[in-house]
């Protein structure tokens, strides 16, 4: 089944809020206005919104058909999920969401379950940001209440994020590790993230291999996928990542980059420096250093010392044709 609260995210939540301050990606920041993005883009988004609205409406209809009634709940009795999926968003994102809900209202309910140990309290399956915003507004939270096990809760929570595809690879890796640390079975974690066991294995491998502090310094890197995170994982092997990278990570230049650029900067800092090869001196039969040769993977450079052998360079150039024919005979 499709995502159930598309409408709320489109109309109530700032799009693509990110987990933490460094994870608050500029490309993923709230965009409450259409300024500067063009008429075509606005039309495209309108069409997407219409589609999303109809899907959300259908999902809502399903909920009503299943007998799930929307109730108004005091936000002060609503707790967070047992497992955080995203870290809290930035103040700017929260403020934008508050304003959006203030203007449009909460159009689609959040999903809660009765608190397993505290009567008259609830835990959030999804809709954390809306709950926080409504709390700030002092308004009741419109919510669907459903009894769920811990497994069902994290699956509902994970699917709400996972099916949106707006969680980057590393965000999903962190979530997978968090769930595994809470001793959820891999089947459950895989369901929550909508990934197969292979991908789950990779997510957990990367999520554990790369220090959390480094991940948070880089941010969600939405354009950076599995392969490059795994490359980073291998680059980090045997290194004190935080110690070695501290000067880079703390630099203003690094922090001013977007998340994907920060990822590339870290990779560049960790990548082995290509060995600088000194040009090799070529000495003639009469003992003169006539030329130097520099060999690289993609090219070989021959530099003739015109002071030592005036005109020799031009002589060699003039004979390139016959040398090449001789070369072809040797390689045939």
String of DSSP letters for 216-267:
HHH---TT--HHHHHHHHHHHTTS-HHHHHHHHHHSHHHHTS-HHHHHHHHH
Quick one: 95 or 233, whose CB is closer to DNA? 233
* Distance of alpha carbon 29 from alpha carbon 9, whole angstroms: 13
- Residue 293 CB, shortest distance to DNA, in Å, is 28
Long-range pairs of 245-250 with CB within 8 A, sequence gap ≥ 24: 245/214, 245/217, 245/269, 245/270, 249/214, 249/217
The beta strand positions in the chain, using DSSP E, are 70-73, 78-79, 110-114, 122-126, 141-145, 280-283, 289-295, 300-304
| Interface pick for DNA out of 55, 136, 199, 313 (rule CB under 7 A) | 199
Residue among 108 and 195 whose Cβ is closer to DNA: 195
Residue 225 in contact with DNA, rule: CB under 7 A: yes
DSSP H or E run through 94: helix 91-104
| Stretch of residues binding DNA (CB under 7 A), selected from 85-93, 145-153, 188-196, 288-296 | 188-196
- Nearest distance from residue 47's CB to DNA, in Å? 15
Region of 12-20, 197-205, 246-254, 297-305 interacting with DNA (CB under 7 A): 197-205
Residue 195 binds to DNA (criterion: CB under 7 A): yes
- Which region, judged by CB under 7 A, interacts with DNA, from 92-100, 179-187, 245-253, 300-308? 179-187
Tell me which residue of 70, 87, 74 sits closest to 25, measured CA to CA: 87
* 90 is an interface residue for DNA by CB under 7 A: no
- Site membership for DNA, residue 196 (CB under 7 A): yes
Residue 262 contacts DNA per CB under 7 A: no
User: How do 78-79 and 122-126 pair as beta strands?
Assistant: parallel
- Compute the CA torsion angle 252, 254, 260, 261 (nearest 10 deg): 110
Interface pick for DNA out of 11, 14, 100, 169 (rule CB under 7 A) = 169
Q: Applying CB under 7 A, which part among 37-45, 202-210, 298-306, 312-320 lies near DNA?
A: 202-210
Residue numbers of the site for DNA (CB under 7 A)?
169, 185-187, 194-202, 204-205, 223-228
């Amino acid at each position: 089944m499709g995502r159930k609260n598309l409408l709320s995210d489109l109309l109530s939540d700032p799009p693509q809020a990110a987990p933490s301050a460094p994870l608050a990606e500029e490309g993923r920041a709230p965009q409450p206005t259409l300024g500067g993005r063009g008429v075509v883009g606005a039309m495209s988004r309108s069409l997407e919104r219409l589609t999303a609205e109809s899907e959300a409406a259908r999902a809502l209809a399903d909920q009503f058909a299943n007998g799930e009634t929307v109730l108004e709940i005091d936000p002060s009795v609503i707790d967070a999920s047992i497992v955080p999926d995203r870290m809290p968003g930035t103040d700017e994102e929260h403020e934008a969401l508050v304003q959006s809900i203030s203007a449009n209202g909460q159009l689609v309910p959040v999903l809660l379950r009765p608190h397993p140990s505290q009567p008259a309290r609830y835990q959030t399956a999804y809709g954390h940001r809306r709950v926080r915003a409504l709390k700030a507004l002092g308004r009741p939270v419109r919510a669907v209440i459903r009894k769920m096990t811990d497994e069902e809760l994290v699956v509902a929570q994970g699917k709400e994020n996972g099916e949106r595809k707006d969680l980057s690879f590393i965000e999903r890796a962190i979530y997978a590790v968090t769930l595994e640390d809470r001793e959820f079975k891999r089947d459950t974690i895989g369901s929550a993230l909508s990934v197969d066991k292979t991908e789950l294995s990779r997510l957990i491998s990367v999520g554990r291999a790369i220090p959390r502090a480094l991940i948070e310094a880089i941010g969600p890197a939405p354009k950076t996928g599995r392969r490059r995170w795994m490359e980073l994982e291998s680059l980090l092997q045997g290194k004190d990542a935080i110690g070695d990278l501290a000067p880079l990570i703390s630099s203003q230049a690094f922090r001013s980059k977007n998340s994907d650029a920060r990822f590339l900067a870290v990779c560049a800092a960790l990548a082995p420096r290509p060995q600088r090869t000194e040009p090799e001196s070529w000495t003639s039969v009469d003992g003169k250093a006539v030329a130097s040769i520099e060999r690289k993977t993609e090219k070989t450079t021959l530099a003739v010392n015109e002071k030592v052998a005036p005109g020799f360079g031009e002589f060699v150039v003039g004979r390139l044709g016959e040398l090449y024919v001789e070369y072809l005979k040797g390689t045939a």
